[in-house]
Amino acid sequence: MNADLHCHSTVSDGWLTPAEVVRRAAANGVTLLALTDHDEVSGLDEAIAAAREVGLTLVPGVEISVSFRGETVHVVGLGVDHRNPVLLAGLAQVRSGRDERAKRIGEALEAAGIRGALEGARRFARNPALVSRAHFARHFVATGLMPDVNTVFRHYLARGKPGYVEHEWAKLDDAVGWIHAAGGVAVIAHPARYRFSDADLDALFDSFAACGGEAVEVVSGAHSEAEAQKFASLARRRGLLASRASDFHGETESSVDLGHCEPLPPDLLPVWSRFA
């Protein structure tokens, strides 16, 4: 079993179409794949059809943007019914704030002397309803202003930088509720990436448990070995299911390719015990 339960396509901020993601995953030996675009499930039908052709199992997923204690937290939903009206309405609500936020990012960058960033970002966004900071970053790189997207985030797009604007995403209990309404399992994505104190992180997992959240990404393309160990302990302590995920966005932007993550520690109960 090679499970990879978090990645992106052109429906959000990935570089490959849903079908291309599935074919690349299959070529890399992935047997169980979840496509989890940001706040959007419209790539799943294409991914499911492609998965049938190449003979891998596609778990319908989504990565929902949540605001918690002033930080953006990502909650992945796995095994969702992507036609469920509660989930669709919730995601539509989250996406509706994105366009207005993109305009504010454009204005903030304009004020910092960067012209045309919004138009540039929109050229990179294959889905007009889903303009992400990643698309702004690609525009910077394409125009030669910065060498790579990581540098753009460090100088312009991370909190405290000129192109960062505050935004209110979904509430944690709403996001988990939509996932559950759609029959899915809720997973805290890449927990080491949040700039939380230990107390905030505890509060996040307490609130997540209180609304019935089931799992945590232990092995993630965004985690070091030490971070994976830290969240393996947390999964044990809190009795959470464990997920394994590349968070692949594209060849030039991801350090870990589809299916190339480390295995989960063998004593943890994998989240795919729910699907496979």
Query: Which CB atom, from 4 or from 247, has the smaller least distance to Mn ion?
Result: 247
Q: What is the DSSP string of 61-129?
A: EEEEEEEETTEEEEEEEES--TT-HHHHHHHHHHHHHHHHHHHHHHHHHHHTT--SHHHHHHHH-SSTT
Q: Which two tokens stand for residue 217?
A: 């990404």
149 binds, among ligand AMP, Mn ion, none (CB under 5 to 8 A by kind): ligand AMP
d(CA 87, CA 182): 6
CB-nearer residue toward ligand AMP: 10 or 65:
65
> From the list Mn ion, ligand AMP, none, which binds 258 (C-beta under 5 to 8 Å, kind-based)?
none
Q: For ligand AMP, which residue of 249, 264, 268, 271 counts as binding (CB under 6 A)?
A: 249
User: From the list 4, 13, 46, 214, which residue makes contact with ligand AMP (rule: CB under 6 A)?
Assistant: 13
Here the tokens at position 98 are 């994105």
Interface positions, 169-228, toward ligand AMP (CB under 6 A): none
Cβ-based burial of 152 (10 A; exposed 0-12, middle 13-18, buried ≥19):
buried
Nearest alpha-carbon partner for 134 in 116, 159, 153:
153
**Binding letters toward Mn ion, positions 65-84, x by CB under 5 A:** ---------x----------
**Shortest gap between Cβ of 149 and ligand AMP (angstroms)?**
5
Which of these segments, 48-56, 129-137, 195-203, 206-214, binds ligand AMP (CB under 6 A)?
Answer: 129-137
Q: How many CA atoms lie within 13 A of 141 on its CB side?
A: 16
Distance of CA 220 to the CA centre of its chain: 11
With CB under 5 A as the contact rule, the residue among 40, 247, 253, 257 that binds Mn ion is 247
| Number of amino acids touching ligand AMP (CB under 6 A) | 10
Q: From 186, 162, 183, 18, select the one nearest 85 (Cα to Cα).
A: 183
Residue 150 touches which member of Mn ion, ligand AMP, none, C-beta under 5-8 Å by kind: ligand AMP
User: Which residues are registered as beta bridge partners of 32?
Assistant: 3, 57
Catalog residues that contact ligand AMP under the rule CB under 6 A. Answer: 13, 38, 65, 132-134, 149-150, 153, 249
Catalog residues that contact Mn ion under the rule CB under 5 A. Answer: 13, 63, 74, 189, 247
